[in-house]
């Protein structure tokens, strides 16, 4: 079985039902159990169940097998085990909490996802928080000649009296 065909089948199944933030990670160097971990987000229980069903049907229609599926009962986190690749389909809160990209990440697989550029690993929340603090609001307001905020103006008036 070709791993590239399997990962393509899984990603196509996810794209058919409009999965969000699809990540394909190479785990050959981390585990002998599987070669790829594919992580995707669904917005609701109904969508995660539909995503898992679509992955199962797409993989089977291309002549490959699905060994098992876990988590269909509640739909918050569904795992589709296809042998050499494992798909994790999660709701946003579950994905943010467990951060599987940090556990299995490090080697994202470059492939076209949803007609876009090749997939890359997403920045973690810590990195995103640091990048948002680079331009302080006060400095930006001063450089553009804007007036101070209401709180700042009220504090200035209170000091004058």
Question: CA-to-CA distance for 130 and 17, rounded, in angstroms?
Answer: 33
pLDDT tens figures, 82-112: 999 999 999 999 999 999 988 887 666 766 6
For each of the domains in the chain, give its residue range(s) and CATH number, in order of start. Answer: 3-122 (3.30.460.10)
Helix %, strand %, coil % of the chain (to 5) = 45, 20, 40
Location of structure tokens 């269909």 = 72
pLDDT attached to residue 151: 57
pLDDT attached to residue 116: 47
Question: CA-to-CA distance for 102 and 120, rounded, in angstroms?
Answer: 13
Integer CA distances (angstroms), 106 to 7, 37, 38, 101, 122, in order? 17, 12, 13, 8, 11
Listing DSSP states for 82-104 in one string gives -SSEEEEEE-HHHHHHH-HHHHH
Question: CA-to-CA distance for 17 and 159, rounded, in angstroms?
Answer: 59
Residue 142 has phi, psi (to 5 degrees) of -65, -40
**C-alpha atoms less than 13 angstroms from C-alpha of 126 in its C-beta half-sphere:** 3
- According to DSSP, the β-strands at 36-41 and 85-90 are parallel
Cα 105 to the center of its chain, rounded Å = 11
- Would the pTM of this model clear 0.75, i.e. be above it? no
pLDDT attached to residue 134: 42
pLDDT attached to residue 139: 42
Low-confidence ranges of the chain (pLDDT < 50): 115-145
Joined together, the tokens standing for residue 63 give 């002549």
């Amino acid at each position: 079985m070709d791993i590239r065909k399997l990962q393509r089948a899984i990603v196509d199944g996810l794209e058919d039902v409009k999965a969000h933030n699809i990540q394909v990670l190479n785990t050959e160097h981390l585990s002998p159990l599987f070669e790829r971990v594919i992580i995707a987000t669904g917005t609701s229980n109904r969508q995660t169940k539909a995503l898992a069903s679509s992955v199962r049907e797409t993989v089977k229609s291309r002549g490959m097998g699905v060994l098992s599926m876990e988590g269909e009962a509640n739909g918050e986190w569904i795992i589709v085990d296809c042998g050499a690749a494992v798909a994790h389909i999660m709701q946003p809160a579950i994905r943010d909490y467990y951060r599987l990209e940090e556990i299995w990440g490090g080697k994202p697989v470059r492939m076209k996802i949803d007609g876009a550029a090749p997939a890359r690993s997403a920045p973690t929340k810590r990195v995103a928080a640091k990048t948002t603090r680079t331009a302080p609001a006060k400095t930006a307001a001063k450089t553009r000649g804007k007036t101070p905020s209401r709180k700042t103006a009220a504090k200035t008036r209170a000091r004058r009296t």
